[in-house]
Amino acid sequence: MPHLPPVSRFLSNNGVRIYRIGCRVFETLSARVYLLLGAGPATLVDTGSGLEACNRDILAGLEAVRHEFGEPISVADVRRILVSHGHIDHVGGLPRFCREGRVEVLMHALDCSVVTAPEEHLAVAKARLRVFLNHAGEEPAHREALITTSFALRRPIEAMAVTTRLNDGDELDGMRILHTPGHSPGQVCVAVGNVLLSADHILARTVPQQWPESITPYHGLGHYLDSLDKIQGIPGLELTLPAHEQIIQDVYARIHTIRAAHLRRLDRLLATLRRADRPLSLSEITAQLYPDVTGIRAALAITDVGARVEYLHQRGRLQVVNLDEIQAQDQPVYRYAVV
Ligand SMILES: [Zn+2]
Ligand SMILES: [Zn+2]
């Protein structure tokens, strides 16, 4: 069971009280949702996974805000929910927390379909993943196992309306919306004065998982690195509160470290291809970089490496060399070499 930190309170320099509430989103993963008071109506940023234990943790956190911090608030007073991005560990609790009273739901337009058309969103994502894995060179049995594993934790939520589709630069009651695509197409960070809610875009320990934008537009390492630059260019961020792991004191230093980690991974990938005695498929590259992974780690590895291959190929650093096969076949395997 993941460890949950106690509810804690932060004050932004524009007068917003921000409460950090830990919740167990899955058996082995915890997240943090945030309650914002003093930024218009009481606003919850993210909703956990929707699993019963997770809902209970969030409700207990709201109770703690009332009893330990003296805020006259209960779950029925939450009038606005801002979903940082459409991953299940952030959006899954939305139906539960919209149940009480009239609640506005705010999300970036590019992730809205997770909420407004959940069945369709998953079906399309699955179909695109299958095409991606065909081009990667996965055999049908292993391909289907990877798809099943990838979607094991992703269930369609109850379809709902999104009240407000957020855009980059929107200002709402002291919150500034920053569209930071990459980890998710509609990922947003929220700047509240000198405090940044960084969601899954910037985490304290983990380099956030990437997916290629050939599966879903606005995923992809290029967008992700541009989104790091966007946050880097915002002066005066003195505290960063991510949706997982610890708080970040110096977001600019953390961005530097994450970017350096990506550059090292790109170098490793190029070195792997240079060492090979023939062009390699994405499956072969992934097997060389991550030889021992299985289960969900294998599914995450091939999409993460796929994002790197895509990034390098888009920028002319890799070349697809088996052009005859590509032109003759329906679902050809792409074989890459360093330019
Ligand atoms: Zn995420
Ligand atoms: Zn997450």
Specify whether the CB–CB gap between 254 and 204 falls below 8 A.
yes
Instruction: Report how far apart, in Å, the C-alpha atoms of 306 and of each of 7, 70, 84, 110, 145 are.
Output: 38, 49, 24, 21, 17
323 vs 41: CA distance, rounded Å: 57
In the reported structure, the alpha carbon of residue 208 is separated from the centroid of ligand 1 by a whole-number distance in angstroms of 8
Q: Has residue 66 got a pLDDT over 70?
A: yes
Choose among 284, 264, 262: nearest CA to 273: 284
In the reported structure, the alpha carbon of residue 288 is separated from the centroid of ligand 1 by a whole-number distance in angstroms of 26
260-292 pLDDT, tens digit per residue, is 999 999 999 999 999 999 999 999 999 999 999
Q: DSSP characters for 74-136? A: -GGG--EEE-S-S-HHHHTTHHHHTSSS--EEEEEGGGTHHHHSHHHHHHHHHHHHHHHHHHH
Write phi, then psi, for 30 (nearest 5 degrees): -115, 160
Confidence class for position 156, pLDDT limits 50, 70, 90: confident
In the reported structure, the alpha carbon of residue 296 is separated from the centroid of ligand 1 by a whole-number distance in angstroms of 15
55 vs 23: CA distance, rounded Å: 8
What per-residue confidence (pLDDT) applies to 2?
Answer: 77
In the reported structure, the alpha carbon of residue 30 is separated from the centroid of ligand 1 by a whole-number distance in angstroms of 12
Q: Has residue 1 got a pLDDT over 80?
A: no
What per-residue confidence (pLDDT) applies to 333?
Answer: 98
Looking at the chain, the whole-number percentage of residues with pLDDT higher than 90 is 94
- Ligand in nearest proximity to the CA of 245: 2
15-31 pLDDT, tens digit per residue, is 999 999 999 999 999 99
- Ligand in nearest proximity to the CA of 25: 2
The H helix count followed by the E strand count for the chain is 11, 14
Mean pLDDT, the chain, integer: 96
- Ligand in nearest proximity to the CA of 244: 2
Per-residue exposure over 76-113, b if at least 16 CB sit within 10 Å of its own CB, e if not: ebbebbbbbbbbbbbbbbbebbbeeeebbbbbbebbbb
What per-residue confidence (pLDDT) applies to 101?
Answer: 67
Q: Has residue 133 got a pLDDT over 90?
A: yes
Instruction: Report how far apart, in Å, the C-alpha atoms of 118 and of each of 52, 109, 161 are.
Output: 20, 14, 11
In the reported structure, the alpha carbon of residue 110 is separated from the centroid of ligand 1 by a whole-number distance in angstroms of 14
In sequence order, the 6+-apart residues with CB closer than 8 A to the CB of 132 are: 212, 214, 215, 303, 306
> Among 46-55, 96-105, 130-139, 266-275, whose mean pLDDT is lowest?
96-105
In the reported structure, the alpha carbon of residue 113 is separated from the centroid of ligand 1 by a whole-number distance in angstroms of 15
In the reported structure, the alpha carbon of residue 110 is separated from the centroid of ligand 2 by a whole-number distance in angstroms of 17
Confidence class for position 149, pLDDT limits 50, 70, 90: very high
In the reported structure, the alpha carbon of residue 91 is separated from the centroid of ligand 1 by a whole-number distance in angstroms of 10
- Ligand in nearest proximity to the CA of 89: 2
Please give the model's pTM, rounded to 2 decimal places. Answer: 0.95
Residues flanking ion ligand 2, Cβ below 5 Å: 89, 200
In the reported structure, the alpha carbon of residue 244 is separated from the centroid of ligand 2 by a whole-number distance in angstroms of 7
Q: Has residue 168 got a pLDDT over 90?
A: yes
Looking at the chain, the whole-number percentage of residues with pLDDT higher than 70 is 99
Residues flanking ion ligand 1, Cβ below 5 Å: 87, 200
Q: Has residue 132 got a pLDDT over 90?
A: yes
In the reported structure, the alpha carbon of residue 226 is separated from the centroid of ligand 2 by a whole-number distance in angstroms of 20
In the reported structure, the alpha carbon of residue 200 is separated from the centroid of ligand 2 by a whole-number distance in angstroms of 5
